[in-house]
Chains A and B, each alone.
Chain A
Amino acid sequence: MRVPAVAVRAASLLGALLGWHLLTSANVRLWVRFDRFPGPLEVAREFGRQLQAGQFYADVAQSVVRILTGFALAAVLGIALGVAVARSRWAGNVLQPLFEVARPIPAIALVPVAILLFPANEQGIVFITFVAAFFPVLVSTRHAVRALPGVWEDAVRTLGGGRARVLAQVVLPGVLPGVFGGLSVGMGVAWICVISAEMISGDFGAGYRTWQAYTIVDYPGVLVGMITIGLLGWLTSGAVELVGRRLTRWRTS
């Protein structure tokens, strides 16, 4: 008998919840200690309480706006500059060294830079989110452009197409499968960085609220924050995957 994939996936999540419940309700202390760790029921109650209040939605909305703004900027600039660097020797020579120097710097280490550069916290957090998502998109676009079969471009050029045609009809559609890999990674890194940035310098947002709960020793609140972040991250990555699959249905495999 074949078990449907959805059932297995649901069972996996439920199993983890059950394990968590057993470990905490039995107050297990085996080097790692679960005796003071909040259990899933306690966290669920706290979750329910937060869902009644407006603060939770305001925080989630704030984080989502930051993520989507930073991610959208990273997608547009990452794809545009990735194409430019791969297709123009001049753009490559000018930009590539800057990118290579900036790329190893963890986006979260840019917090001091963001504080110096931007008048408001909000812009700084979006900037950090943008930087985090930008490099995966840039690098995957650059590789995808270089991997494009030359024959498509040759075909369009011998049918009378110029530079703009080649860009619009060959390069942009052709790099999509590779670009979506980068967008997927970028979305994941963007969440890590938006949450960290909120913890360091935010006034609102899921990351800020989670840290806030920790400072007042509200452990169930911390876990509610973490679970919220996890679910939001899953949702947004899933959306990227879905759009990516829709747009690259022409692929052979």
Chain B
Amino acid sequence: MSDAANGTVTGTAGAVSLRAEGVTLGHDGAAPVVTGLDLTVRAGEVLAVAGPSGCGKSTLLRALAGLLPVRAGRITADGAPITGPSADRALVFQDDALLPWRTARRNVELPLAIRGVPRARRRERAERWLARVGLADAAGRLPRELSGGMRQRVQLARALAGEPRAVLMDEPFGALDAQTRRAMQHLLVEVLADAPATVVFVTHDVDEALLVGDRVVVLGPSGVAAEVLPDPAAPAGAQRAEILAALGARPGPRPAVKEPV
């Protein structure tokens, strides 16, 4: 059932393209959260998905990961239907997704252990990844001994250590304070620059979407409401206003979209 069962496809095969066609999502018995969505994520791009809470962006991410079956339509990875979770598509969560009984290093080793990498090699690679996210000194610490920002760095290292073909990020910095958040955004851009993976980055922070994404789509009640290609040369605030308009929000001094209750 796992399309990464052979364990050799990762890393060398490179980024994957993901495609949703006429997809309806939602939990059984409840009203669908997403209806008839068409979306293509090109191989190797960083797609930022913005949208208000409840628009189904997290649900979409879970479906792309293979954790939630579609109710209608189909989702494919390089043309092959996604039927379940796989090491090919790592999911990064908002918080508390590290196994709390494993040290930072042993958390990062997890995808390597699952793939059967020998102990010494996975230890060495986990330490390299921790150094890459600036946590070389925290390898032996338990998650509870790390700050929120450090835990998200470990999560990022863990996701990338498995050399997935796609990284799906569900508001990974949503629980962090503004300053840590900014540092993490820059770290992410830097780390992703040399990772051969397709990235889907879900956020409700418009500035974050513009900073991290090669492309930004705004998810609305009837599918993709707007698409923006972030351009640093564009007049300040113009792209942000465009996204906010698609979100149906008034452009204000606060960059983040206000969460409806």
Q: CB within 8 Å of B: which residues of A?
A: 149, 151-152, 154-162, 165, 169-170, 173-174, 248, 250-252
Contact = CB atoms under 8 A, between A and B. Distances in A.
Interface in B85-120: 85-87, 89-91, 93, 96-102, 110-111, 114-115
Contacts of A162: 2
Given A152-B99, A158-B67, A170-B99, A252 B144 contact: yes
A248 B98 CA distance: 15
Describe B's contact surface by its main secondary structure. Answer: loop
Given A159-B87, A160-B115, A165-B114, A154 B93 contact: yes
Contacts of A248: 101
B110 A169 contact: yes
Interface residues of B, number: 32
Contact of A169 (B2, B97, B99): B99
B97 A160 contact: no
* A-B complex: 8 closest residue pairs judged by Cβ atoms: A160-B87, A250-B101, A158-B91, A159-B111, A157-B85, A155-B97, A160-B114, A151-B97
B99 A173 contact: yes
A252 B67 contact: no
Contacts of A251: 100, 144
B65 interface: yes
B114 A155 contact: no
Interface of B: 2, 4, 7, 62, 65-67, 85-87, 89-91, 93, 96-102, 110-111, 114-115, 142-144, 158-159, 162, 168
Contacts of B102: 250
B100 A160 contact: no
A158 B89 contact: yes
A250 B100 contact: yes
Contacts of A250: 100-102, 142-144
A250 B99 CA distance: 10
A152 B97 contact: yes
